[in-house]
Amino acid sequence: MDWRGVLPHPVVFVSGPEEYLAGRAIRSLREQLRELDSALEIHEVDAADYASGQLLNITSPSLFSEPRLVIITGFERCSDELISDGLAYIENPTSDTTVILRHTSSSVRGKKLVDAIRLNSNCAEVACLPIKGDGEKLAFVQAEFAHAGRKINQSAAKALLDAFADDLAELAGACQQLLQDSAEAITEQIVERYYGGRVETNAFKVIDAALAGQSGTALGLLRHAISTGADPVPLVAAISMKMRQLAKIYGNRNASAASVGMAPWQMDRANKDLSGWTEDGLALVIQRLADADAAAKGAERDPVFTLEKLITLISQKGVALS
């Protein structure tokens, strides 16, 4: 099952390392079961501490037959007793009971039970795979709005990524907040109204201005970001990400977007931004980025000055003026 469309089954195997998606799926199941019966009993079990017969004891019918939800976490560390009891349980699950098994890694521990779950009609799997790269994050944002029957245009989705580049939970939370806006379609202007002050947004505005050769604008944006509380460390990180994209495709302009881990619109933008750059210029900027990163993390007393010099160098396409 898709994590957005998860439905109760006797046994639900929630696999994969993306904790945010797993949390959403488990929360959805819990809410659905509570809507069916507010007397739902919830039991949480650590798979590593599981004792023989524990699953049977928890799921055995009670005097008042309350429905139950059993959440077993850390399945990749499961005991031998859980494997044995789980194999028996999936063949004859208790009615009005949902058992969730949360498995976070690629560990082969419990493989016999995992394989049996994937072949058993009483069970369903929800795969929570990591969302990597801006292309996948963009698809995530668009899917959040499509699932809610709403629209977000491409530039607005990109602006949202600029504001929440590193944290999937924050990105999803921003989507949910925007979904409460009454506008028929979410535009870049609406995103700017809500999140224009985000550090990451400021950082990307700074680098975009610098890449456009607008040194004065870029420095003004940088000083505004710092004066409103932005930390130099994430600013340098955002600039580094942008410059790494340029370095990645320099001399390989015909590569497909997928082969370099970028969305098509990112590839198009990077190719435009590369106009006028030389290999030596890119190399110098990458070197100065390392200096700026060290300065931001305490190697120098005035990291902002180092960052300003870096922005000036980028606006000059890596040509250091004497």
Domain-embedded: residue 291: yes
Q: How confident is the model at residue 181 (pLDDT cuts 50, 70, 90)?
A: confident
Q: Which residue has the higher pLDDT, 109 or 125?
A: 125
Mean per-residue pLDDT, 109-126: 94
Residue 263 has pLDDT above 80, yes or no: no
Residue 321, pLDDT above cutoff 80: no
Residue 175 sits in a domain whose CATH number is 1.10.8.60
184 and 240 both lie in a single domain: no
Task: Tell whether the model's pLDDT for residue 123 goes beyond 90.
Answer: yes
Average pLDDT, the chain: 88
Does the pLDDT value for residue 254 go beyond 80? no
Could you tell me which residue, 266 or 198, shows the higher pLDDT?
266
Could you tell me the end-to-end alpha-carbon distance of the chain, in angstroms, rounded to an integer? 61
Q: Do 191 and 233 fall within a single domain?
A: no
Q: Are residues 122 and 214 in the same domain?
A: no
Looking at the structure, do residues 145 and 228 belong to the same domain, yes or no?
A: no
Q: Which of 195, 214, 246 is the last residue of a domain?
A: 195
284-312 residue pLDDT tens: 999 999 998 888 887 777 888 999 999 99
187 and 74 within one domain: no
> What's the mean pLDDT in 195-202?
62
Q: Length of the chain, please?
A: 322
Lookup: tokens for 280: 């030596």
In a domain, 322, yes or no: no
Alpha-carbon span 292 to 111, nearest angstrom: 47
Percent of the chain beyond pLDDT 70?
Answer: 95
**268 has pLDDT over 90:** no
- Domain boundary pick from 105, 127, 149: 127
Domain tally, the chain: 3
Q: Are residues 167 and 51 in the same domain?
A: no
In this prediction, residue 320 carries a pLDDT of 78
> Is 279 domain-assigned?
yes
> Which run of H or E residues covers position 113?
helix 111-119
Note whether 72 and 90 are same-domain residues.
yes
Looking at the fold, whether 78 and 161 belong to one and the same domain comes out as: no
Q: Which of 80, 103, 127 is the last residue of a domain?
A: 127
According to the model, what pLDDT value does residue 316 have? 94
What CATH number is attached to the domain comprising 270? 1.20.272.10
Residue 202 has pLDDT above 70, yes or no: no
- Measure Cα distances from 280 to 62, 236, 284 in Å: 74, 21, 6
Q: What does the alpha-carbon distance between residue 174 and residue 182 come to, in Å, rounded to a whole number?
A: 15
pLDDT digits (tens, 9 = 90+) for 2-25: 999 999 999 999 999 999 999 999
Residue 320 forms part of a structural domain: no
| 72 within domain boundaries | yes
Same domain, 9 and 103: yes
Q: How confident is the model at residue 267 (pLDDT cuts 50, 70, 90)?
A: confident
Domain region containing 79: 3-127
- How large is the greatest C-alpha to C-alpha distance in the chain, in angstroms? 85
Say whether both 120 and 222 belong to one domain. no
User: Does residue 56 carry a pLDDT above 90?
Assistant: yes
Residues 226 and 188 grouped into a single domain: no
Instruction: Name the pairing type of β-strands 41-46 and 151-152.
Output: unpaired
User: Does residue 229 carry a pLDDT above 70?
Assistant: no
Specify the CATH number for the domain of residue 59: 3.40.50.300
Q: Band of the pLDDT at 264, cuts 50, 70, 90?
A: confident
